[in-house]
Structure 1
């Protein structure tokens, strides 16, 4: 690497993977990256390197109408041009004028084989004449409008090989014609230093475009995967940024138009990039819904920039070029300023996903300001400054890519929050439905117990009175049959009433209710049961109801399917909740094959409504164990 070019290394970037996205876990490293970037960048604005000399101040400048003077006349000093010393930095451009620059370069033993470079971007036509002491005049040319294949030095920039002056001064005359601002800088390189510099430039552009390509592919994948138009705007924006660098750096002449080009596409592509950038920010921050007037104004200004760029590219000459170019530059500066201001405002209004947008646009705006300050002659050329815009564009692209990942992260969090809210609403709805169902069961149980049961009791008492009446002795057998039938119906009514609503649960508590249901369900069938229910005290009503219903359903399943001889029910307090186990020694089942019937789903549903866990262990030899845990406070 050439002296004067530091190697910037960014390491220990901690990424965490989530479905469909890669999210940055650290919130601090982009700020550190930004600080390091500018700390390294700003001192380089006036920097220099070994093996190169800045000879800008040895030149004098003058202007003429295009094509009005013969170069040899100017070289011999026979023209009427009034040359003045070049001020550095300064914008030498005068639209629709030939810029003449003249110098006499004295011999230097260290620069016997020297390269003269003009590091200013977008020089349209550069003609140079070297006159040695023996009177020999050598003409060379370069620039964006001359064929690249005719350049003496195949380089994206403008560079010429100095003739051998054999120890004598060399007269140099340059004529520049361009429509862009010219902050004239002339550098004289040693051969080996120039080669190192050229290789460093190649390496830099390789890294830049490689990184941009990786970001392009990465976000294009997400654009189609997530079907989010923000990603499409970003991909188009980034493509325009990369193409802008190709155009203004001179790489376009080398790879796209080696035979020369007729028009410049730089401002057109830059305007398109600004348009897509506005679209990206508006879509990303949902500007249209939040501030529709801002959306309309920004889109209109960005669209105007595209139209002006198109007119400039097609040379429509609707407006004077000297007016359009500064206007275009102003619009291009307005773009990042708009991105930054709306991002900061959105962040202050609670849009957290705007944070990386703020960082990215700050870098872009800063690099654009430095670039235009250098372009218009407010900053002296420096090796960092030469690539400041590329640094800013890549940093902006990287940070905006992180902003998109951040957006996916926040949207995922919002979706999860909505899912949790929806699940909680479902649980609350189910709880209310269960409460309504329990209340309805209680009402029906009361009707059966108080009305139907009472009516049957009255009938039974009347039948008892008839059996005592000797006048009806002949009907005694029929009356006894009716009494027995009445007793059976009363027993069924009581059982149904208990199943609908266990009054004993409301009156005597969970322990008594569970013992009652165990006795009523298992004793008549000769099934032995044992219960450890000492901890069934002080539980919330909803928990008591759920436990009772689950045990009731489990006993129903044991009676129907298990053919069990023993049943054990255990209830204990554990880790801020209640743990219940229902075990039988009957015929188990293969849990991997059985999905569970309606009863099992009902039991599991009761537990999950109370944020508990439900588990079944079963096999055909040892029977079945139902475990469930419901969190509840002590009390």
Structure 2
């Protein structure tokens, strides 16, 4: 905007000089100054209506360039001294015509028109034609050299700005990667600490409960005695062992959820590994249905989306472990219309999905998914299982989904 203001000022100053020259010559009775003044007046009107907006509108700029050439020719044909108009006309060609080729052509046409008009105005002088040719040749050469030089400087400036933007983007990416690496490292440390402390202590509690059961059975072999298997002490030991097992299972789930995600072979392979581990730990059959190629290295869905999907699968299976009492789970990965979806379905006891969620798990899943522009849908009825659907935007390409796998015990994909 400031640079345009300078151009407006320079144009106004040039028009004032031309008007002064024309009026002076008119007073002295030289030349056809009325025609020159009319051309200047028309050029001013055209600049106000077209030229000012031509700096940002290429179509208007081209229109004003045509008017500029015509008015310059008329003014110079009336008075050769009006050729001073090219001091503003030639630079304006470089500004109003954004492409270098167009600016060069515009300057060439302007030089030819002014040269012809000057030759006509100086036709009575013996060297008028030669003088006109030399003047316009030098003017065109100077405008061409200066315009190309400034255009090159502008190109270098734009290239420098682009490189700076790329550098800033790269620095931001490095910073984000460093931050993510720090988060991953801290998660790994927490997982190791939990595994080496709490998990080991809970394992010890389970073993102590089993040992106490055996010692109690050995000390009081009679089944109906006060210290037998049905005694209050035996029931308490069973409760202690079961509670320790549940706490150990939840601790292992927490360790698995905070461990780094291995997606080297793709999201499908990661889901299959996690499902197999869950099946070994709980006895709940887990089936994975996914495109046949989505687990390979050429699968191009964004890594951030894969991580979010895997974490959602972990959270859904953790809820199955804690609350569902299911016998089978199916995880289905599909892509439709630029979105990748993961659906986790179980045949457990279900719950009333219309009631507000009180736990952190599903709410945390929704928050995690919303951060990457996705959404979570939960369908469940008491006694009829639960379906959790996670949908994320995906710029990658995933082939059509594989053949459905029925939800039944022992099914794997």
- How high is the TM-score relative to the length of structure 2? 0.46
The structure with the largest strand share of the pair is 1
- How high is the TM-score relative to the length of structure 1? 0.34
The structure with the largest helix share of the pair is 2
